[in-house]
Structure 1
Amino acid sequence: MLRGSGSLGVSRVNTKKLLCRASSGQAPRYDVDKMMAKYPIGLEANGFKVQRVVVVPEFSLTAVELSHERTGALHLHIDRDDKNNVFGIIFKTNPPNKTGVAHILEHTTLCGSEKYPVRDPFFKMLNRSLANFMNAMTAHDHTFYPFATTNKIDYKNLTDVYLDSTLKPLLREEDFQQEGWRLENENLKDKESPLIFKGVVYNEMKGQVSNSSYFFWIKFQESIYPSLNNSGGDPTKITDLTYWDLLDFHKQNYHPSNSKIFTYGDLKLIDILEKLNKNFKNFGKRSNKNIVKKHMPLLESKNIIIEGPIDTMVPLDKQFKTSITWYAGDPKDVYNTFLLKILSTLLNDGHSAPFYQELIEKGIGIDFSINSGVESMPEINLFTVGLQGLNEENSNKLEEIINDILIKVIEKGFESKRIQAIIQQLEISKKMESAEFGMNLLYSLIPGWVNDVDPLEMLKFNETIAKLNKDFIKKGDKIFIELIEKYLIKKPNFKFSMKPAENFQDLIIKEEQLRLNSKIKNLNDNEKKLLYERALKLENLQNEKEDLKCLPTLTVNDIPTRGDFVKVDVNENNITNSKCYKRFSPKTNGLTYFRALKTLGTEIPVDLIPYLPLFTECLTNLGTTDKSMSELEEEIKLYTGGISSSVSVSSSPFNIDEPILRFVLTGVAQNKNFNSVLKIWNTLLKETDFEKNLSKLSILIKSLANDNLNEIISSGHSFAKSYSSSKFSSKAVIDESLNGIKQVEFLNKLNKWNEEGLLLEKVVPNLIKLQELIVNKDNFRIMLTCDESIALTNEKLADDFINGLPSRTGKINSDKPTWSSLLLPSTLTKGSRFKNLIEIPSQVNFTSLSRPGIPYVTKDGASLQILSQILTFKKLHKEIREKGGAYGGGSSYDAINGIFNFYSYRDPNPTNSLQQFNDVMNNYIDKSFATTESFALLEEVSDDSLITTRDLDQAKLSIFQQIDAPISVREEGLNYFVHGINDQIRQERRDHLLNADLNDIKSAAEKFLVHGEGPTSEVIIGTLKDEDSKLISKKSGWNKVKLGVFD
């Protein structure tokens, strides 16, 4: 998997349900008696009755469980002093088959309701709200609809929309066809063009199954838990779903009796209950038919082998994925499940873990498989150890190898220090606050809650840790040895393997064509005519002007004119020539957060830039001359809450042609152990030994190169944007080398050298050179976030850390050329146009079109950011998603780096999307800005042809959702520390955004998009259909890049 940083610290056992802390800070002692008196058991209000109350002082929260008397709906309310209030409604939705009915219903539910009878009120609320989170998701046996906002009116508005959308949706057949699937002429302007499958979810899932790790995981789930059908939908089965099936599934499942409601924050519970009761009161009580699905009996070991796609970035002889799974008890036993997760951490995570040492380090596989670890299914815990990147021989022997390792573990046991380190990590993570505490809590509780696991038991963190400490004192590592003996050793297991099929993609295409032929072979001319007319009807509906007055909305007046800024003190040390940024906060809960940032100049040769991500990973994965990585990792986990290193680049906020490359170190520890963070970093920076730890380097490169294809398929639009903008921005050229397709190609090259035994010759010297260039005291600045009482001590320790680094050797030649002159293509001229097709095996595509913008501090930069939101909501969502069938699409503006991007995601029609992007620049913008006289007539009517002040205001709301979203204490002041954007600059930017009018937006659009003389860059990532391939030819200026070295 492609990674951008090296890190060590909090381990895989950091389950969200236990380890999140919110931003309420180090408050006075939580008053348990007061909270119990606030919610007396048996209290009745607005149709609800309080059933149970649990106070959790360690998280300063009170959990209140209620039931709705009339319908039986269950409601869990978390009372907490946190203004980031959360709402979620959850339905148990066991899918009856693999047609994706639950997933498609999730989409169509949000396409209009009785109270809000407009197309897609969910999407339209995205720019009528200040919510920092809005979504809807389908899991394997439940569907949920959450949001989070700090605005009380917003909370009320969104609760209304969510409840009406889920309980009283319109579920029009046209929405089913748009969001689910349909048969339609490929070209709507030509009724003789061939019929093909279209639909948003259909294309979304085609994209999902193009990811080999997802394909392995979903086939594993279907095999080991066959009663749980594929809720997302198997593309080969989605086209069997009928509209009537959808209506029936909603009728059966979307009822208050089958729902659970989660609310969190500082809002009054009585007001929330009133809203819920108003929506529930016309429903009666149903018996719950949505039972917990039973698992398959595993009385003897089973072995399943399937075929899957080849990963062209992995050696051809290492294409197998194989896992071994055991049943491991009932998820309702919360403590036992907790212990299993710690056991999984002991066995799998880190350089001292037996499975890592014996399976990864010894080359049995490249990395653990996606299903490795402990997963709580509806009725059983699954304990899985799996690998990817195996050859056939090791795949066949994996069960035997794992069994031998477990026998050795039982004989040898676990070192006490490793267990103590995990407990230490748990204690630190309890203190680490999170701005998304409420949402994280919702996500962690739901899977168990819908399957009868007690959510109140899952909240009792201190009780769980206290029991673990008591058992550890009494029994030591036998707690975990007994789990191995009880569930794993000599017990029936489920072996699941996926072997490569060279013609897999061809089989997928052939299957779709056969399925399509079976749908259309018996259609007569009249039926084909009806399909064509139905498609035109859908298109007319998509183009229809709507009256949107029914939708609730906030206004620009709800956005504070003044930003919420925090004080950051800055001291300069003349001895070390470094700066120390200090953020004092009582919300640190006895922790110190540390960041060290070094600005890298052109002393870093261009050819070494791609090595920087590998260099940062090496620091926390190789080891030093005197210490193994296992020994170092033990220190890190015993004395810190984790450390990490990374490299990043951005443009100057004052000049987009000035790239700033940064090397960053981070760490967190309890105040008493802060010096341990610095000592460990001092050791790693100075003494990491690349040559001595060559075998570790080999393992690391294999791991980094592994799964990159799946990473691209998962986030293809981001890769497309990066590659596209790298053709004219020096910052983007560097970023592409560090994180984009170029980095993937680079890792592929390193991995090939790795296979050929050339690391010592070709790679190690470059890493040593980077160590010499980076590890010195020049150009460092430090940021400390801690309590003020410890600040002076911490600052002295940090100064000593910088001063203890070596001085730079040699002088930098100030006459060296800039990165801009070194990196940008010599052919770059005004009006240049770049077109690149990145070929990867995928059923869907990703696109981007990029244009250069202007620096962060400018008024036009703010206008371009607003414009990107207007174009997304006003034009592109409809053209790319609703009509084009892509899972997502729109435009965005990278404010710091000054790049305007158009993009599409999981797109079946990439050339059409690029045509839409060009049409927006060449035609739409020039004609779409409404005149002053027409504004009043258009304010509440959806008219895609004109951009009005209403669109302007809604774009501002969508931008400030993220600008004003709550952040954790460790993120406070980072804009100033990293980018030099102080409060004055942030406020000026805020003023530019709030004060921009339509003339400003139009002027910026004309300057940079319509009449802009800057270069344009277009990218497609994927596998094109024949029709698209004809358009993408060398004659039209397209350059083709085939990604992969082992194909």
Structure 2
Amino acid sequence: LDDSNREMLFMCGLEGSEVKHQNDFENLVINTLKQVAEKGVPQESIDAMLHQLELSQREITGDGYPYGLQLIMSLTGAATHGGSVMDALDIDAALEKLRVKSREPNYISDLVNRLLLNNVHRVTLTMRPDPLLIQNQKDNERKRLDNVAATLTDEDKATIVSQAQALKERQEQKDDGDILPKVTLADVKPDVKTKEPIKDGPIIHYGAGTNGIAYQQLYWALPELTEQERVLLPIYTSLLTELGTGTKSYLDMQQWQAARTGSVHLYTMYKPSLSTLNNINGYMVFSGKSLVRHADELSEIMANHWSKPRFDEVERVLDYLTLMSSRRIQGITGSGHSLAMQAASSSHSAGSALIYNTSGLPAIARLKVWVEQWTKDPALLTQWLEQLQALHLKLSKVTPHALLVGENDELAALEANLLASGLTLSDAEQAVAQPIDISPATKMVWSTSTQVNFCSAAFKTVPPTHEDSAPLTVLAGVLRNNYLHRTIREQGGAYGGGASHDNSNGVFRFYSYRDPRLEETLEDFNGSVDWLAQGDFSAEKVEESILGVVSSLDKPGSPAGESKLAYQNKLFGRSDEFRREYRQQILSVNKQQLIDLAGNYLNKDLASQAVITNAEQAEQLVDKGFDWQKI
């Protein structure tokens, strides 16, 4: 339901199908709506959706995007189309109205009949890929340019050249920033944000203003895993909360989750040691949230998923992993720069190699092949699930500890709920270092269905405690703001480009996003280092980058999110003292320091390069020393 316009739209969609199924799909939608109109919707399903609306209204978010701006953006529809801004901000009255109306006989059925089945304003839209699209676009553009060139006089040509030169000069012009108000280093607070737990032990308590929502996390210190187990782990964590438990099917569990929780999900966290890049350890985290009045069932749901997973739901597993594979392949061009950076970074540290192999392009390609094999031979999936069960059994031998975040006066009750779930808990354990193989620096190209390119180059740097780590983070901002943005985005035509320093894993990365160029962009990465060596930038540009780094360190989060981050910093040894020292190193960076660092670390002969492009472009790069991999 798209409610952002004055007239709302109700849409049903299907992806990955074929044009010949258009009528079948339309009949499926209409017949389903008729069935709903005839039989209605179970009251428990309606109550579950009302619960989700209440939870979204209560939750104070802001970890990815400032909460205040989120509220403002949520009001723009009402403000633009003449609605009530206050009603859009406070939906309690509307929720109460819905609770009353939803208990009227045929409430949902009447809505479906009146607004959907008897609505003549309906369209079926089918979209399909054109295999000749890219070539036709190129041919049409070439034809258009040839036609334009044929009509140009010498005077027209001179004008074009003059305009291009004027544009280049304008792009390279140094504007007077002093005419604008600005923040300086004098405005930066010297200390870091700190937050201490209220209670330690097997169940750690953090108090926060959560507005009646309880947050619960379980942490397992990962034992030493084989390479195959590390490959399975991301799929295992994605799948576990999507299965049934005990005598309940996955549909039963999804309904229970919707009715009593905001979400439950399982994931892993890895970080290397502060002093060495090759000693990497990790934790598996089971995270959930709910309204406080449902916290007992949140604990029960999480305990059931962990202790009684239904690995026998083979059809569900295949459906879910097929969807996961499709989504990951389709998502490549949306996050191509991140995937390219993962690939380029993989040869420089254990953490980067682990991320690349378990969640990067190799993982996407591997899952695609597996799904194709399982679809042809379901027996292979059954055998694969035995490996997943063995991994679950191995992880079940580790005793987790727990983190609770909520209002101070509610934490004791939340702990009682967690203990009543039957989960065995212990004090936090130190994770075991994982043995990670690192391949030597290389040049690689991955091909997929894309009309644009994603380029990256990476260099090995130092652990977080090294004196050069903080300045390298500032260096990335100087290169991005003063050279790479101009050459890659403004002049090169890419949607974005820049540099960043992954200080946890000790890798400096260049990148471009949705880029029409390839080799020219890789040359621009080297050109930025040459530009820096000339020293043609002011101390003010260094200060701008420092302020950008501090801004990212100090950005506000949600009350619960800041508590979780404080605990995770503590878990991985990122103490307040370490963070203060790192912050001070950031604030004290100077121009000459950056010039020296670039010369020491960003040697183009030591770079690894990675490109995501289409097959035609990939084939051309093979002759230039790139190793070609296909999705």
TM-score scaled by structure 1? 0.56
Q: Identity rate of aligned residues, in percent?
A: 23
The answer to whether residue 214 in structure 2 is matched with residue 584 in structure 1 is no
- C-alpha separation in 1, matches of 2:364 and 2:520: 27
Q: Cα offset for 1:865?
A: 0.5
Where do 1:469-488 residues align within 5 Å? 469-473=99-103, 475-476=104-105, 478-488=106-116
3-state secondary structure, aligned to 1:501: coil
The structure whose RCO (Cα within 8 Å, separation 6+) is larger is: 2
- The corresponding residue for 2:284 is 663
**1:964 paired residue number:** 554
Question: CA 1:784 to 1:990, structure 2 compared with 1: closer, same or farther past 3 Å?
Answer: same
1:1013-1034: CA deviations, max 9, x gaps? 9x421111113887x975x343
* Aligned: 1:559 with 2:181: no
Alpha-carbon deviations, 1:91-118, whole Å to 9, x = none? xxxxxxxxxxxxxxxxxxxxxxxxxxxx
Residues 776 and 805 of structure 1 are in contact (CA less than 8 Å); yes or no, is this contact kept in structure 2? no
Structure 1 contact 884–908 (Cα < 8 Å) conserved: yes
CA-CA distance at 1:570 after TM superposition = 5.4
* Aligned pairs for 1:394-405 within 5 A: 394-405=21-32
Task: Quote how far apart the aligned CAs of 1:761 are.
Answer: 4.0
Distance of aligned partners of 1:428 and 1:524 in 2 relative to their CA distance in 1, 3 Å threshold: same
1:989 aligns with 2:582: yes
The correspondence for 2:8, drawn from 360, 381, 392, is 381
- Of 863, 871, 874, which residue of structure 1 is paired with 2:479? 871
Which residue is 1:30 aligned to? none
How far apart are the structure 2 equivalents of 1:837 and 1:645? 32
Write the deviation string for residues 579-609 of structure 1: whole angstroms up to 9, x where unpaired: 4332112x1223321111222232x221232
- In the alignment, does 2:169 pair up with 1:540? yes
The one-letter code of the counterpart of 1:582 is H
Contact 2:204 2:404 in 1 (8 A): yes
Measure, in 1, the Cα distance between the counterparts of 2:466 and 2:132: 53
SS in 2 for 1:750: helix
Shift of 1:640: 2.4
| 1:649-798 superposed matches below 5 A | 649-691=270-312, 693-758=313-378, 759-778=380-399, 780-795=400-415, 797-798=417-418
Paired with 1:852 and 1:894, the residues of 2 have a C-alpha distance of: 10
Separation in 2 of the partners of 1:560 and 1:375?
43
One-letter amino acid matched to 2:9:
L
Q: 1:425 to 1:702 in 2, by over 3 A?
A: same
Give TM-score scaled by structure 2 length: 0.91
Correspondence list, 1:606-621, <5 A = 606-621=227-242
For structure 2, which runs of at least 5 residues remain unmatched after alignment? 427-431
**Partner amino acid, structure 1, of 2:107:** I
Counterpart mapping for 1:895-914 below 5 A: 895-914=503-522
Aligned twin of 1:65? none
Cα offset for 1:638? Answer: 2.6
- Following the alignment from structure 1 to structure 2, what is the Cα–Cα distance between the partners of residues 901 and 836? 15
Partner amino acid, structure 2, of 1:737 = N
- Report the CA distance shift for 1:749/1:570 in structure 2 as closer, same or farther (over 3 A): farther
C-alpha change, 1:766 and 1:499, in structure 2 (3 Å) is same
Query: Residues 800, 660 of structure 1: CA spacing in aligned structure 2 closer, same or farther, 3 A cutoff?
Result: farther
Describe the SS at the equivalent of 2:602.
helix
In 1, Cα distance between equivalents of 2:51 and 2:276: 45
**Is it true that 1:804 corresponds to 2:460 in the alignment?**
no
Letter in 2 for 1:698: L
CA distance in 1, matches of 2:577, 2:517: 45
Letter in 1 for 2:165: L
Partners of 2:3 and 2:510 lie apart in 1 by 40
User: What residue identity is the alignment partner of 1:752?
Assistant: E
User: Within 1, Cα distance between the matches of 2:274 and 2:203?
Assistant: 21
Change (3 A) 1:680 1:805: farther
What SS is found at the alignment partner of 1:784?
Answer: strand
Q: How does 1:82-231 map to 2 (within 5 A)?
A: none
Q: Is the 8 A contact 1:653 1:897 kept in 2?
A: no
CA distance in 1, matches of 2:510, 2:401: 36
Matches within 5 A, 1:147-546: 374-376=1-3, 378-435=5-62, 436-473=66-103, 475-476=104-105, 478-492=106-120, 493-546=122-175
Match of 1:998 among 568, 573, 591: 591
Question: Which structure: greater strand fraction?
Answer: 1
Supply the distance in 1 between the matched residues of 2:309 and 2:131 (Cα, whole angstroms): 41
Counterpart position of 1:918: 526
* Distance in 2 of aligned mates of 1:613 and 1:672: 32
- Distance across 2 between alignment mates of 1:379 and 1:668: 33
CA distance in structure 2 between the aligned counterparts of 1:1033 and 1:597, rounded to whole angstroms: 44
2:197 to 557, 564, 568: 568
Deviation at 1:741, TM superposition (A): 0.9
1:885-929 C-alpha deviation (Å, 9 max, x unpaired): 2121111111222221111111112211111212333x333332x
Q: CA deviation at 1:392?
A: 3.7
Residue equivalent to 1:47: none
Q: How far off is 1:487 after superposition?
A: 1.8
Q: Distance in 2 between matches of 1:1024 and 1:624?
A: 44
Deviation, structure 1 residue 696: 0.5
Question: Is residue 682–residue 805 contact of structure 1 (8 Å, CA) maintained in 2?
Answer: no
CA-to-aligned-CA distance 1:990-1046 (integer Å, 9 cap, x gap): 1121223334434433332249x9x421111113887x975x343x32112222xxx
Residue in 1 aligned with 2:607? 1016
Contact 2:265 2:287 in 1 (8 A): yes
Looking at structure 2, the residues matched to 376 and 641 of structure 1 have their Cα atoms a distance apart, in angstroms, of 22
- The C-alpha deviation readout for 1:157-179, integer Å capped at 9, x for no partner, is xxxxxxxxxxxxxxxxxxxxxxx
Amino acid at match of 2:265: S
Amino acid at match of 1:782: A
Describe the SS at the equivalent of 1:667: strand
2:3, 2:549 → 1: CA distance? Answer: 38
Q: Which residue of 2 aligns with 1:950?
A: 540
Residue-by-residue CA offset, 1:791-826 (whole Å, 9 max, x unaligned) = 3443455466685389xxxxxxx9xx9523xx212x
Residue equivalent to 1:1042: 630
How far apart are the structure 2 equivalents of 1:590 and 1:515?
62
SS in 1 for 2:278: strand
- Residue segments in structure 1 that go unaligned for 5+ positions in a row: 1-373, 573-578, 807-813, 929-944
Question: Is the 2:221–2:398 contact (alpha carbons within 8 Å) kept by the matching residues of 1?
Answer: no
How far apart in 2 are the matches of 1:724 and 1:900? 10
Partner of 1:167: none
Deviations 1:114-139 (A, max 9, x none): xxxxxxxxxxxxxxxxxxxxxxxxxx
Q: What code does the residue aligned with 1:456 have? A: M
Equivalent-residue separation in structure 1 for 2:285 and 2:481 (angstroms)? 36
The change in CA–CA distance for 1:601 and 1:999 in structure 2 (over 3 A counts) is: farther
Distance change >3 Å, CA 963–CA 660, structure 1 → 2: same
Q: Give the whole-Å Cα distance in 2 for the aligned partners of 1:794 and 1:840.
A: 48
8 Å CA contact 1:652, 1:897 repeated in 2: no
Residue 845 in 1 paired to residue 434 in 2? Answer: no
Match of 1:596 among 218, 222, 239: 218
User: Is this contact kept in 1: 2:374–2:381, CA < 8 A?
Assistant: no
* Cα gap change, 1:905 to 1:1001, in 2 (>3 Å): same
Where does residue 429 of structure 2 map in the other structure?
A: none
Q: Which stretch shifts more, 888-897 or 538-547?
A: 538-547
| CA shift for structure 1 position 790 | 3.2
Aligned pairs for 1:72-87 within 5 A:
none
Q: 1:741-792, CA deviations, whole angstroms, 9 ceiling, x for partnerless residues? A: 11211221122123213343442122112211222343x3321112233334
1:395–1:625 CA distance, 2 compared to 1 (3 A): farther
Instruction: Read off the aligned partner of 1:1038 and give its amino acid letter.
Output: F
> Comparing both structures, which one devotes a greater share of its residues to helix?
2
CA RMSD, Structure 1 to Structure 2 (Å): 2.5
Structure 1 position 976, deviation (Å): 4.1
